[in-house]
Amino acid sequence: MSENMSPLTTLNDEQEMLISEVRRFCEETLRPKVSEMDKAAKLDPEIVKHLFEMGLMGIEIPEEYGGSGMGFFEAILVIEELARVDPSVSVVCDVQNTLVNNALIRWGSDEQKKRYLSRLAEGTVGAYCLSEADSGSDAFALKCRATREGDAWRLHGNKLFITNGQEAGIYLVFANVDPEKGYKGITCFIVTDEDEGCKVGTKEDKLGIRASSTTEIILDDVLVGDDRILGEIGKGYKTAIETLNEGRIGIGAQMIGLAKGALECSLAWTRERRQFGRPIGDFQGVQFALAKMDAEIEAARLAVYNAARLKEAGRSFVREAAVCKWFSAEVAERVSSMAVELYGGYGFSHDYPVEKFYRDAKIGKIYEGTHFMQLQTIAKLIM
């Protein structure tokens, strides 16, 4: 173990090899396309194809279904490494692994796993459809309905702010089968892009993570059978809560990767940029700024890895997931902001990478549970 590595951040040989492969992909294939995808607000299909070919879209999916058969911690490592170069691509991988695949692995029947996990491992993008126009932090105020029709269910409603909406072929849709029961009527259904009445609506024009699609999903009387229910009728709230707890660790990984990318750019810039006859990195004020960035990233990484290790060990991690998401989003915003300042006027230009990191960082305080909701969770658990 090297002197600057804690036991919590030390990786085994297999994990080191995985990160090495992902880093090579990021530098050789992904980085040249980041700016272009951001401007176009669209993922390059070849990038998505590479993610599947490398097994990064099915990290925890068992090998029998075509997945990589690795663990949750490996997924976190991959999400972090992708975000170091492009948080947009990172979140595509994050949602696929920590939300969609995770939910199917935990609550899917043998037949559902065989049918859908194999698709998600081999080439189909997944989307997690919980949010609605009036259902954000109050996630269980959803108005999407599922009505029994013979031996099937008819889904009707609109989902909003759905990550991967444009690319997805499989959707996990949360709908209420009995509104009088409140959240105890919420049920999770598996819907595909082949189902009549399932349509992609408006695509959001976003501040950051622009290449990652965020869309409306329209469910216009979509008919599905009982075999499309994930878990139990009326237990969708449990699926949502527990999956999102794990997903928050993924967002934490995305934020520390983003912050690391911003720091790396800043270090290179402060060696290159000269003022008063020497590199600006020679000035103590700049050195202290870089040191603070590095220290905060390390602290955030420890929080994320701790939550991931607890999850893998089968121990309680709800508080730790909230802590790591809250803190890593804070750090990502501060570090990327400082990176822009260190670049000076250049940092305010689209021609340099740090302004994109700054734009991408803001979403970390919003999706998969806002900053305020994380603090509420932490307060509730410590009090």
Identify which of 70, 60, 138, 157 has the alpha carbon closest to the alpha carbon of residue 99.
60
- Amino acid of residue 324: C
Q: Which residues contact 16 (CB under 8 A, 6 or more apart)?
A: none
Whole-number Å distance between alpha carbons of 88 and 66: 25
- State the catalytic residue, choosing from 74, 132, 355, 368: 368
Query: Which 3 state secondary structure label does DSSP give 187?
Result: strand
Q: Establish how many alpha carbons lie within 13 A of residue 329's alpha carbon, considering only the half-sphere containing its beta carbon.
A: 23
Identify which of 259, 336, 241, 265 has the alpha carbon closest to the alpha carbon of residue 299.
259
Does residue 368 carry a catalytic annotation?
yes
Q: Which H or E run includes 95?
A: none
Cβ-based burial of 376 (10 A; exposed 0-12, middle 13-18, buried ≥19): middle
Cβ-based burial of 374 (10 A; exposed 0-12, middle 13-18, buried ≥19): buried
Question: Contact 219/158 with Cβ under 8 angstroms?
Answer: yes
Provide the pairing of β-strand 278-279 with 274-275.
antiparallel
Q: Which residues are catalytic?
A: 368
